[in-house]
A and B are shown apart, each in its own frame.
Chain A
Amino acid sequence: MSSDFYKASILPYAAIIIKICRAYTNSQEDFEDYYQEVCLQIWRSRENFNEHAQWSTWVYRLSLNVCLTLLKKKKNTYQHFASDMLPEEAAVDSHAFADESLNQLYDAIKQLSEVDRGVILLYLEEKSYQEIADIIGTNPNNIGVRIKRIKERLKKLLDGKVN
């Protein structure tokens, strides 16, 4: 990946990638691995990009796909190891950001299902229901209801009503 490509096509969208990768990782080390893998995947897939689509939408989609794939791989790996390895790995790094409320919000988001995490991240990034549906690959009619349900769950989680 040339540094020109990184600077022109990835760095302006780094915020998107960071926000998504943070939602799917629990440690700084994992976050950096996921971030690198997303960047690499964007570079690899650059020729598949449809000129009619938005680059940012493409970045969202790839970022989510890569994170979900890596998460799945990690889960499969865990299944091959003894359970005594899990607690350390599962330890959550709750201090990724300086803003404590944002850290708490991320902790709550991480408790959602993998797809719901993607949906709420896209919602918070002010994507339209149609765009969210396109990226997630679902029916736009369901998105509104789903977001409402996710927000209620997040509210409960942030209020400390749900463990």
Chain B
Amino acid sequence: MEKSIETIWKKGFLESDALVAPKINNLYGQKSKTIIDRLKRMMKINTYVIAIFAVLNTGLYAFLGTPYTGLFLFFLFMVACWVSIRQEKSLKNIDINLSSYEYLKSFNDRLKSAISGNAKAMRFLYPLAFIACLMPIVHSLKKVDVTREAILNSGLHLTYGIPTVAWAVAILIAIVMYIFGKKIYYWDVNLVYNRIFKKIESMINEMEELRK
């Protein structure tokens, strides 16, 4: 080696083009794509999980002696799958030729609108699923001698072999679930996607500030 590393370093950077700063552009191009691909992947996995759970749940309900309730819940889960697939499809048609900011903003707007639309459908699903979930309990209360006798001797007014007051409480809970259905749905969605939603929001905010 003829020159010391210090000399090579100093002399090398005397060249006029050695330290030309690259132009800052498309700062978020790859990031936007990565985060949206991740969200889409999560949505797809979520749909598969619901579908698999729906099948397993049907089997479980059949085992518990309430196969029709199982089929009804299967139908409800399929509705949830359909909602999820619809959500995914609505996000597929965004023009990829848009700038990173416009793409991310457009994606976020569509996502919010899809979630808001789904919330309307899901508020019916939660109370129905709740009532359906009670059916195996109703079935076992009526089937087991001890509980059946206790109910019959309770002196309460019965409907379909169960105290009417219990039905009333269940219906009341279902009504509350309907009223708060949107909130439950948002809580449910945030439970799975909150981190990624926040990331998208923070990227958009940052990009808006960068554009100033």
Which residues from chain A sit less than 8 Å from chain B, CB to CB? 1-2, 6, 11, 14-15, 17-19, 31-33, 35-36, 39-40, 43-44, 97-99, 101-102, 104-105, 120, 124, 151, 154-155, 158-159
Report chain A residues within 8 Å CB of B5.
105, 120, 124, 151, 154-155, 158
Compute how far the CA of A99 lies from the CA of B1 in the bound complex, rounded to whole angstroms.
Answer: 15
B15 at the binding interface (Cβ < 8 Å): yes
A120 nearest CB neighbor, chain B only = B5
Q: With the chains together, A35 CA to B22 CA distance in Å? A: 8
Are A105 and B12 interface neighbours, CB within 8 A? yes
Q: B interface vs A, CB < 8 Å?
A: 1, 3, 5-6, 8-9, 11-13, 15, 17-22, 24, 27, 30, 206, 209-210, 212
Complex: A67 Cα to B30 Cα, angstroms: 17
The reply to whether B17 and A36 form a contact with Cβ atoms under 8 Å apart is: no
A2-B212, A124-B6, A155-B1 known; A102 vs B18 contact (CB < 8 Å): yes
Q: B-side binding surface: helix, strand, loop or mixed?
A: loop
**What's the minimum C-beta distance from A31 to chain B, rounded to whole angstroms?**
7
- Which residues of A sit under 8 angstroms from B17, Cβ to Cβ? 98
Docked CA distance A2–B209 (Å): 8
Kindly list chain B residues whose C-beta atoms are within 8 Å of the C-beta of A101. Answer: 3, 8, 11-12
Closest to A6 in B: B24
Instruction: Tell me which residues across on chain B come within 8 A of A104, comparing CB atoms.
Output: 8
